Amino acid sequence: MTPLLTALIVGLALAGIFILRPLTAKIKTVFHPNAVIDSQIKFQSMQLILAALALAFVYLLNPVNFTVFFRFGDVNAHIGKIPWLGISGNETWLQVALTLGLFITLGTGIFMFLQVKKAGKTNLRGLAKHPVGKDLGGFIGWAILFSIANAFSEEAIFRMGLVSPLYGLLALPIVALISGILFGLPHYFGQPSGPVGVLMAGFLGWLLALSLLETQGLFIAWAIHFVQDVVIFVSMFAMQAKADEK
């Protein structure tokens, strides 16, 4: 029954994420004068509650596995051999996060730059004059804060929500693959978006699931995810600035 319950938990959490946006749009209280920041404050707060509920169910499903993975983890644990990525198995996850993570971030940055360019803005010059960007410290601060929250919530749902209850029941490569698929598919409508976004997010989800399994902790997965989210939120603010100029 555990795989079915796991699918139910993740399925409900995924449905909840899609439901949250229209729900938060109905909240009349204004927490920030900027519409994008205000909507993210509401959405990220609700998503954290959803993640907490998912974690609670995961704990009840298998408390022993939960305590194995819901911790910092061993960043110096060695990654399994992945020849097609040029990984010999002698590297630690910290080294992989700093090297492969850099290339992943560059890929995310290029994709989001093209999205911003498609919206009509090829640089951030206009952003400095926009209400979002007048206070650069505040602008970066919001991007970092939202990235911290979003990365934690999504790792709680898509990594802990799958890896913890399925650990010991399915082969580890299968668990990682399931996490990648379920993380990638919703990104067709997210950021990065479209078929390319699905592939990028799917690969990232698979890699982060591997990190959770092999380091037996959340930090590496959260850290790589966090950096991608910073790039994405900065790009979202840039696209908003261009939209407001039209």
Sorted by where each begins, the domain ranges of the chain are 2-245
pLDDT band at 36 (very low <50, low <70, confident <90, very high): confident
- Residue showing tokens 């993975």: 69
Contact in structure between 116 and 235 (CB atoms under 8 Å): yes
User: Structure tokens of 150?
Assistant: 């979003």
- Residue showing tokens 């909840």: 16
What's the pLDDT score for residue 134? 55
Helix axes 35-61, 136-155, angle to 10 degrees: 20
Mean pLDDT of 32-60: 92
Q: What is the mean pLDDT of the chain?
A: 86
Contacts of 129 (CB under 8 A, 6+ apart): none
88-137 tens-digit pLDDT: 999 999 999 999 999 999 999 998 888 877 766 544 555 555 555 555 56
What's the pLDDT score for residue 122? 46
CA distances from 69 to 14, 73, 213 (A): 21, 7, 8
Contact in structure between 167 and 65 (CB atoms under 8 Å): yes
196-239 tens-digit pLDDT: 888 988 999 999 999 999 999 999 999 999 999 999 998 887 77
Q: Residue 112 — left, alpha, or beta (φ > 0 → left; ψ -120 to 50 → alpha)?
A: alpha
Cα 62 to Cα 163: distance, rounded to the nearest angstrom: 11
